[in-house]
Protein backbone atom coordinates (compact mmCIF):
# COMPACT_ATOMS: atom_id res chain seq x y z
CA UNK A 1 0.00 0.00 0.00
CA UNK A 2 2.85 2.33 0.85
CA UNK A 3 4.47 1.80 -2.59
CA UNK A 4 1.18 2.53 -4.32
CA UNK A 5 0.78 5.89 -2.53
CA UNK A 6 4.38 6.92 -3.30
CA UNK A 7 3.98 5.98 -6.98
CA UNK A 8 0.70 7.92 -7.25
CA UNK A 9 2.13 11.00 -5.55
CA UNK A 10 5.19 10.93 -7.80
CA UNK A 11 3.15 10.65 -10.99
CA UNK A 12 0.86 13.51 -9.94
CA UNK A 13 3.91 15.68 -9.15
CA UNK A 14 5.48 14.92 -12.52
CA UNK A 15 2.32 15.85 -14.38
CA UNK A 16 1.52 18.99 -12.35
CA UNK A 17 5.05 20.48 -12.19
CA UNK A 18 5.36 21.56 -15.86
CA UNK A 19 1.89 23.10 -15.75
CA UNK A 20 2.64 25.08 -12.59
CA UNK A 21 6.09 26.28 -13.71
CA UNK A 22 5.34 27.12 -17.36
CA UNK A 23 4.21 30.67 -18.09
CA UNK A 24 2.63 32.23 -21.10
CA UNK A 25 5.00 33.53 -23.75
CA UNK A 26 3.89 36.39 -25.96
CA UNK A 27 5.91 35.30 -28.97
CA UNK A 28 4.65 31.72 -29.06
CA UNK A 29 3.38 32.07 -32.62
CA UNK A 30 6.07 31.12 -35.15
CA UNK A 31 4.60 33.24 -37.97
CA UNK A 32 5.75 36.76 -38.80
CA UNK A 33 3.41 39.59 -37.81
CA UNK A 34 1.11 37.74 -35.44
CA UNK A 35 1.79 39.39 -32.05
CA UNK A 36 0.07 42.77 -31.56
CA UNK A 37 2.12 45.68 -30.26
CA UNK A 38 1.10 49.00 -28.75
CA UNK A 39 3.15 52.15 -29.31
CA UNK A 40 2.80 54.75 -26.56
CA UNK A 41 4.09 58.33 -26.62
CA UNK A 42 4.19 60.55 -23.57
CA UNK A 43 4.84 64.29 -23.99
CA UNK A 44 3.91 67.47 -22.11
CA UNK A 45 0.72 69.19 -23.27
CA UNK A 46 2.51 72.54 -23.50
CA UNK A 47 6.14 73.51 -24.02
CA UNK A 48 7.21 76.84 -22.52
CA UNK A 49 8.96 79.57 -24.51
CA UNK A 50 12.67 78.98 -25.07
CA UNK A 51 12.39 75.44 -23.69
CA UNK A 52 12.68 72.07 -25.44
CA UNK A 53 10.19 69.42 -24.44
CA UNK A 54 10.72 65.68 -24.56
CA UNK A 55 8.73 62.76 -25.86
CA UNK A 56 9.04 59.32 -24.27
CA UNK A 57 8.39 56.38 -26.57
CA UNK A 58 7.54 52.87 -25.38
CA UNK A 59 6.42 49.87 -27.44
CA UNK A 60 4.82 46.96 -25.59
CA UNK A 61 3.45 43.55 -26.47
CA UNK A 62 1.38 41.02 -24.56
CA UNK A 63 3.22 39.01 -21.95
CA UNK A 64 6.88 39.50 -21.23
CA UNK A 65 8.14 39.97 -24.81
CA UNK A 66 10.16 43.04 -25.78
CA UNK A 67 9.52 44.15 -29.36
CA UNK A 68 12.56 45.20 -31.36
CA UNK A 69 12.58 47.18 -34.57
CA UNK A 70 12.58 50.78 -35.79
CA UNK A 71 10.67 53.76 -34.39
CA UNK A 72 9.94 56.90 -36.42
CA UNK A 73 8.81 60.15 -34.81
CA UNK A 74 7.10 62.56 -37.22
CA UNK A 75 6.25 66.12 -36.12
CA UNK A 76 3.76 68.21 -38.14
CA UNK A 77 2.55 71.71 -37.32
CA UNK A 78 -1.26 72.02 -37.34
CA UNK A 79 -3.51 73.49 -38.76
CA UNK A 80 -1.09 74.95 -41.34
CA UNK A 81 0.59 71.60 -41.98
CA UNK A 82 4.16 71.52 -43.11
CA UNK A 83 5.81 71.19 -46.45
CA UNK A 84 8.69 69.44 -44.70
CA UNK A 85 7.67 67.63 -41.51
CA UNK A 86 10.33 66.96 -38.88
CA UNK A 87 11.24 63.27 -38.63
CA UNK A 88 13.50 61.28 -36.32
CA UNK A 89 14.14 57.58 -36.84
CA UNK A 90 16.05 55.21 -34.55
CA UNK A 91 16.38 51.57 -33.58
CA UNK A 92 14.18 50.39 -30.73
CA UNK A 93 15.54 47.69 -28.44
CA UNK A 94 12.64 47.00 -26.08
CA UNK A 95 13.04 49.72 -23.42
CA UNK A 96 11.54 53.22 -23.18
CA UNK A 97 13.40 55.91 -25.13
CA UNK A 98 13.35 59.67 -24.43
CA UNK A 99 13.86 62.06 -27.36
CA UNK A 100 14.16 65.86 -27.38
CA UNK A 101 11.67 68.08 -29.18
CA UNK A 102 14.18 70.94 -29.62
CA UNK A 103 13.38 70.99 -33.35
CA UNK A 104 10.04 72.65 -32.50
CA UNK A 105 10.89 76.35 -32.61
CA UNK A 106 7.76 78.27 -33.62
CA UNK A 107 4.70 78.65 -31.40
CA UNK A 108 1.64 76.63 -32.35
CA UNK A 109 0.00 73.24 -32.17
CA UNK A 110 1.98 70.19 -33.29
CA UNK A 111 0.93 66.60 -33.86
CA UNK A 112 3.58 64.02 -33.02
CA UNK A 113 3.09 60.64 -34.70
CA UNK A 114 5.10 57.69 -33.36
CA UNK A 115 5.31 54.64 -35.63
CA UNK A 116 6.87 51.26 -34.78
CA UNK A 117 8.05 48.97 -37.56
CA UNK A 118 9.26 45.53 -36.40
CA UNK A 119 12.48 43.95 -37.57
CA UNK A 120 12.26 41.85 -40.73
CA UNK A 121 10.94 38.35 -40.03
CA UNK A 122 9.81 39.34 -36.52
CA UNK A 123 6.63 37.94 -34.96
CA UNK A 124 5.49 41.45 -33.95
CA UNK A 125 3.02 43.70 -35.79
CA UNK A 126 3.55 47.38 -36.60
CA UNK A 127 1.75 50.02 -34.51
CA UNK A 128 1.21 53.80 -34.48
CA UNK A 129 0.07 56.45 -32.00
CA UNK A 130 -0.38 60.24 -31.96
CA UNK A 131 0.01 62.93 -29.32
CA UNK A 132 -0.69 66.69 -29.56
CA UNK A 133 1.75 69.29 -28.16
CA UNK A 134 1.41 73.07 -27.97
CA UNK A 135 4.50 75.30 -28.14
CA UNK A 136 4.11 78.69 -26.41
The pLDDT tens digits for 23-81 are 444 445 667 778 899 999 999 999 999 899 999 999 999 888 899 999 999 999 988 76
Average pLDDT over residues 81-95: 87
Determine, yes or no, domain membership for 3: no
Instruction: Give residue 11's pLDDT band: very low, low, confident or very high (50, 70, 90).
Output: confident
Average pLDDT over residues 4-29: 63
d(CA 117, CA 125): 7
Average pLDDT over residues 119-124: 89
Determine, yes or no, domain membership for 62: yes
Determine, yes or no, domain membership for 12: no
CA 95 from chain center: how many Å? 8
Determine, yes or no, domain membership for 79: yes
Cβ-based neighbour number of residue 109 at 10 Å: 13
Average pLDDT over residues 113-124: 93
* Omega within 30 of 0 (cis) for the link into 77: no
Question: Is pLDDT at 12 greater than 90 in this prediction?
Answer: no
Of 40, 37, 59, 64, residue with least CA distance to 126: 37
Contact 36, 125 (CB under 8 A): yes
CATH number at residue 42: 2.60.40.2470
Determine, yes or no, domain membership for 11: no
Domain count across the chain:
1
The range of the structural domain enclosing residue 53 comes to 26-135
Determine, yes or no, domain membership for 91: yes
Instruction: Give residue 84's pLDDT band: very low, low, confident or very high (50, 70, 90).
Output: confident
Determine, yes or no, domain membership for 15: no
Determine, yes or no, domain membership for 18: no
Sheet holding 97-100, edge to edge: 37-42, 54-61, 97-100
Amino acid sequence: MKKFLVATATSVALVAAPIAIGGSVASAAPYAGTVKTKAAAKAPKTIAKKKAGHVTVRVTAAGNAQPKGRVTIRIVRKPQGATKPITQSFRYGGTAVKRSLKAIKRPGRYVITVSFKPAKGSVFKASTTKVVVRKR
